Amino acid sequence: MPVHNSDVADKFNRVADLLDIKGENEYRIRAYRNAAQTISGLSRSVVESVEKGEDLSELSGIGKDLAGKIEEIVKTGELEQLRQLEREVPTGLRQLLSIEDLGPKRVKQLHEEIGIKSIEDLEKAAKAGKIQNMEGFGKKTTQKILEAIDRAKKEGPKKRFRLNEAEERSLPLLDYLKKTEGVKKAEIAGSYRRRKETVGDVDILVTCKQGTNIMDRFVNYEDVQKVISKGDTRSSIMLRNNLQVDLRVVPEVSYGAAMLYFTGSKAHNVALRKKAVENDWKMNEYGLFKGKKRIGGKTEKELYEKFGLQYIEPELRENRGEFDAAANNELPDLVKLKDIRGDLQSHTKATDGKYSLEEMATAAKEKGYDYFAITDHSKRVTVANGMDEKRLLKQLEEIDRLNEKIKGFRVLKSVEVDILKDGTLDLADEVLEKLDIVICSIHYNFKLSRQAQTRRVLKAMEHPCFHILAHPTGRMLGKREPYEIDLEKVIDAAKENRCYLEINAQPDRLDLNDVYAGMAKEKGVKLAISTDAHTISDLDLMRFGVGQARRAWLQKEDILNTHSWEELKKMLKKK
């Protein structure tokens, strides 16, 4: 069975969770989480590294012990340490980790303080009011837990996968199918193609010569856990990470209609079919028909043209005004990855990154960027070894020396400074004033009321050094809900104070979401697309942020870091 980087990272994260539930040493737990982050951020496969005999302990945050465990997973597909921990921690407690808002520390607290051993115990205790008075919980959290349990009951075991998780499994499979003799076209459709934050399952469409053994090859793919169904034109498999993939073979004459249909969204397709009915046509996955005569369907562009519409990019197909815009030739020229001229959030090993300042800057220059912001954490983020004023000033001197050394490229002096509970910033003004750009964010006190959290950010935005609000809602997809905040007020305040918002390209954040990013554009507030890179390979995550921006209808001019440094410098000057 193939082993993916995400398999290794998942096992390390599960080890960390179970060690946390057991109350083991915090540094040991963090070592596993850091290792998981390092592995998931690698641009090459650890399997390849093991096969070549490379020393994995040379990777940042990976010692000899963890390198040995990676090798064990690669060679056996299992980790004995994880098996042992699963024997020690009861199944019911492990299942509690699947409930949103319940991390391992809360599971441990619930178990030790009120004897919770299962999801059923948790639901009974929540309904009986036993949880809301516990430290760190309260009525809101209790209600969220009950809602999460209810969702889990309705949705069953089927989960949604982050876009990068779906990509890691789908692209190798797509490449494998394209290499099948007789295959002409093969492409992924569905919410993956629309670049949604999460994906329920994956649809792959193929055209091929008659007699091609594509279905046999599909169901015999090495990563298949289960064959759900197999037919001549459609088959379904479950991959080992429980991602379902459906393969459909379609005739070339219907390829565009099928891509349109299976890309969705449902709302977009319904609206388009309604337009067909208004023209006395019929539209389905096989084509566009007038009576029994096919009048379109080979390409998506052809179909849109039949309706008098511009071609609508997949990211815009949500029935949010794209039809009117397309009819009036007013669709935006969406931002592209090649438009990005720099990355405005990154971390080095001075705090919680994995590489040195020079290593990160050199990697950014090699990507063709003009500039690159080093934004290590401020002192409040103690868990990340955040920097105080003295350490930051020393880093600024290091940046000066580096800028003299690296020609044709600029390392920006910056910091990710914490917004404290009262809305003040975590570092002294006389230091912040020395920076090219100041990224501001929240890492603590997530549980404030909507009014208090909003006041906190609005006050911070009034600071003359405040430039960009990073990951504005603090959410972690599938792990942490966004904190309560009035984003419309925040966007209005950003415009008033000449501040900007971030689209964080980390696939577990993608924060801002597409709706609020679109609102920011409508209100005249530009956004930065930043990778929040903690490793060199994290710099490649920019594509996910660009996908999110495209879903929000953003164009090149709407993005801060599509501009030259001279242009950006003018934009950063506060009123």
Answer yes or no: do 107 and 141 share one domain.
yes
What is the number of domains present in the chain?
Answer: 4
Q: Which two tokens stand for residue 272?
A: 């388009």
pLDDT reading at 156 higher than 70: no
Q: Average pLDDT of 233-261?
A: 95
* Domain span including residue 270: 254-327
Domain final residue, candidates 327, 358, 385:
327
Q: Which two tokens stand for residue 347?
A: 């971390």
151, 535 Cβ separation under 8 angstroms: no
Answer yes or no: do 322 and 342 share one domain.
no
Residue 135 C-alpha from the chain's centroid? 31
Answer yes or no: do 383 and 524 share one domain.
yes
Q: What residues pair up with 290 in beta bridges, in sequence order?
A: 293
What are the backbone angles phi and psi of residue 150, rounded to the nearest 5°?
Answer: -65, -40
* b/e map 530-562, b = 16+ CB within 10 Å: bbbbbbbbbbbbbbbbbbbbbbbbbbbebbbbb
Answer yes or no: do 106 and 201 share one domain.
no
534, 37 Cβ separation under 8 angstroms: yes
- The closest alpha carbon to 539, from 503, 502, 506, 501, belongs to 506
Grouping H, G, I as helix, E, B as strand and the rest as coil, residue 189 is: coil
Answer yes or no: do 282 and 342 share one domain.
no
CA distance 423 to 458: 8
Q: How many CA atoms lie within 13 A of 300 on its CB side?
A: 16
DSSP 460: H
pLDDT reading at 258 higher than 90: yes
What are the backbone angles phi and psi of residue 326, rounded to the nearest 5°?
Answer: -70, -35
Cis peptide bond prior to 265, omega within 30° of 0: yes
CA distance 432 to 464: 10
Q: CA angle, 518 as apex, 517 and 520 as ends, to 5°?
A: 65
Compute the radius of gyration of the chain from its Cα atoms: 25
Answer yes or no: do 241 and 258 share one domain.
no
Q: Average pLDDT of 314-342?
A: 97
- The amino acid that residue 219 corresponds to is V
Q: How does pLDDT run across 180-235, given as a tens digit for each residue?
A: 999 999 999 999 999 999 999 999 999 999 989 999 999 999 999 999 999 999 99
**113, 150, 157, 282 from 144: Cα distances, Å:** 20, 10, 19, 44
Which burial class, exposed, middle or buried, applies to 151 when counting CB atoms under 10 A from its CB (0-12, 13-18, 19+)?
A: exposed
Answer yes or no: do 429 and 460 share one domain.
yes
Phi-psi domain of 486 (left: phi exceeds 0; alpha: psi -120 through 50; beta: other): beta
Q: Kindly report the pTM of this predicted structure.
A: 0.86
> What CATH code is carried by the domain that includes residue 276?
3.30.210.10
Answer yes or no: do 49 and 81 share one domain.
yes
**97, 479, 549 from 509: Cα distances, Å:** 19, 10, 13
- What pLDDT is attached to residue 386? 94
Answer yes or no: do 176 and 316 share one domain.
no
Q: How does pLDDT run across 444-476, given as a tens digit for each residue?
A: 999 899 999 999 999 999 999 999 999 999 998
pLDDT confidence tier of residue 570, bands split at 50, 70 and 90: very high
In a domain, 332, yes or no: no
In a domain, 65, yes or no: yes
pLDDT reading at 158 higher than 60: no
In a domain, 82, yes or no: yes
